[in-house]
Structure 1
Amino acid sequence: MTRQLFGTDGVRGTANTYPMTADMAMRLAAAAGRYFRRGGDVGVHRVVIGKDTRLSGYMFETAMTAGFTSTGMNVLLLGPVPTPAVGLLTPSMRADLGVMISASHNPHYDNGIKFFGPDGYKLSDEAEAEIEALALAGVEPARPENIGRAKRIDDGRFRYAERVKATLPPGQRLDGLKVVVDCANGAAYRAAPEILWELGAEVIPIGVTPNGLNINEDCGSTEPAAASRAVIEHGADMGICLDGDADRVMIIDEAGRVADGDQIMALFATRWAEQGRLSGGTLVATVMSNLGLERHLQGRGLVLHRTAVGDRYVVAAMRAGGFNLGGEQSGHIVMTDHATTGDGLVAGLQFLSEMGRTGQCASSLAAQFQTVPQKLRNVRFGGGDPLTDAAVVAAIADAEGMLAGQGRLLIRKSGTEPLIRVMAECEDETLLGQVVENIAGAVERAA
């Protein structure tokens, strides 16, 4: 079944432009409400809704509340909380489903809707397809006496904070550590500094003045330069750089250098394996993860299981295989011992815990392997499918021939933006640049 609304991480797009309109948000909510109330109108049914700090979040929160209550769902409004808080509080509050209104690392003018099932995990492709079909067809509303109610939950952030702190070993504190935390003017702008301070760290917060329009603007995990400068200026021991909904992280060492998700996963996988905690001796990551990570794990007798891009596919593979560690190069770190989805703050705390346990500085922990040179170009397109263009197909075939035995090539459409992502890895950086630019140029001409 062709998906018109859902991408790799829910429904996402420019606010007030199809499909991210108030009307479609209400339709999606009504459809999800009907999907999770297939038993009829009898009984209590709940949905928890969280959001980040985008201005459009007010509009979508209100529209989805109307859609859910129209089908008899009682709505529990969490306000601004990290995405992993929704994954946590959905089962904790005995809700039928959870919703996060966020476009993650995207600019303020985008927004998105992510659904979580009653177990706190993101929905399957099959469930999303059924909800999409219901939204497009329309659903029958509940009888007047069965319309749902809405209630504001004031302590959702604090419930999440207690769970996050509990992921550290019992009694461990962060006294003596100076930590920069960049909250991207997003969902964790209050929770992250509070949690680190309560654990004893000296906290230098940045990106904590959201105004509805500055989320991810020159800050956060996709723009870590501000956090790097802050670490150096304040002589901090390390930095934790979150994105707009705090489900991904970049680690900054004491010299201001950035460690991506691959390096963080390499650290956790290696140490967990040494401690007998890495389920199946396997790390789950996507096709985007660096070849150097794969070689690092192989050298230690561990396995890298690759999936399609998207943390939901990582989690699906982890659940299917019984694995407890996975993630993405972009900074989604999934530890199912602690959370149902990527949690940037939990990952940052686990890194700090390792610093405390070993006495090592951030730079020694954040450089686990030598990366194979990797180049990524994102090419924006307006419509159609540039990847079917004959010139693009020929450019890709030529590149595959040039890289044969020397590296790897990955070409894909983004599931969250109108972009073609052109990525290659090769020890020969001249060849690497040549193949990426050739393909990107062909895509630009076709687009």
Structure 2
Amino acid sequence: MLPQEIIAAKRDGKTLSTGEIGSFVAGFSDGSISDAQIAAFAMAVIFRGLSRSETIALTEAMRDSGEVMAWPGLDRPVVDKHSTGGIGDNVSLMLAPILAACGAAVPMISGRGLGHTGGTLDKLEAIPGYRIVPDSETFRRTVTEIGCAIVGQTARLAPADGRFYRVRDVTATVESVPLIVASILSKKLAEGLSTLVLDVKTGSGAFMARESDARDLAETLVAVAHGAGLRATALITRMDQALASSAGNAVEVANAVRFLTGHHRDRRLEQVTLALAGEALALSGLAANNEAGVATARRALDSGAAAERFGRMVTRLGGPADFVERMDEHLPQAPILRPVTAAGAGIVTAVDARALGLAVVELGGGRRLPEDAIDHAVGLTGLAEIGQELTPGEPLAMICARDDAGFERAAERVTAAYRLGDAAPDRTAPVLDRIPSPADPTHRG
């Protein structure tokens, strides 16, 4: 079938076959389909949607457009995690070494910051010498011998998705659940995983601000992963304030190292990280159930085994051999460290997490344009959290800035992000719900 016939069929609401979708995606790679045709197809999907079978077919076709990794001889489950993004969300930096210390192999392929949200690769680039795109042999050996490697996507993994996303990004066709799902899962399936855990955020700092939209995305991700042969579960988690007490690049790496070594662990960050670890360990067969998985993960943390894996990973991928022990000497430091304070007394009743993310962008720690350089040293630390009581002049946050002008712009954003009141709001757990695998006996149908 000609590409224009496939576009017309979807435009008219018809269900495409696996073969039709496969041939269309193949044209992404061989150049037989133009950007205009890709855009037309994406717009047809925006208005007509994709069925579950079509979404699975699109996911698998994009997975098969490039290299699909295999792990022959590896006697451990191959596990990864994906987050839909948020503020102060440095979970990957702790979760990968925790899972490695518990017996999993974690080839974690991560991304850069998008909009107001931070990116794992941008954070790791704050570590001197760390190679986010190592050669294939180094990547495989790091995963095999150390248990985890957090790296960036190469051009050989799901290249059709890369082209499809570039077109969607400039044609107002990003906001489609089936296309988002296919984009996420095609790359994860190309990693050769056996298990995937998903962290789908909702709240003021999330792309899916409404819980109903986050739930729809989480349920579709889990169902399509299952249809493509990948065991997956999802947690729906709150992003109504920064997850960690720090937001930025180097400051979040520092926060992660303190978490791993036990020097400081933000309560909500710990709850989300351990919940995801419990899911991954139970689903991959490394723990009898989620509760046992959480206990196993906590032992890996408290024993120092997870911190040791993180340090070895950093060294193997080009970072300093003593990074964990002498982190403050290696990470870049902003020349200005100054508080932004509360104008009056009160209890933090709400936080606009998106505004905090934009404050980091104002400082230079995020991108306005894809080609923008990142200032890894800037960011926010000591972020006040919901329910915290503040007195006049007490810090809402500490701002790590490059110059006075950056500080002033960020301070305005941070001040506007916080709402103070007289009564403490109900403190609710950061994990709102769990979407189990259809193969899970606890699945609710």
The structure where strand makes up a greater share of residues is 1
TM-score where L is the length of structure 1: 0.27
Identify which of structures 1 and 2 has the higher relative contact order when contacts are C-alpha pairs closer than 8 Å and 6+ apart: 2
TM-score where L is the length of structure 2: 0.27
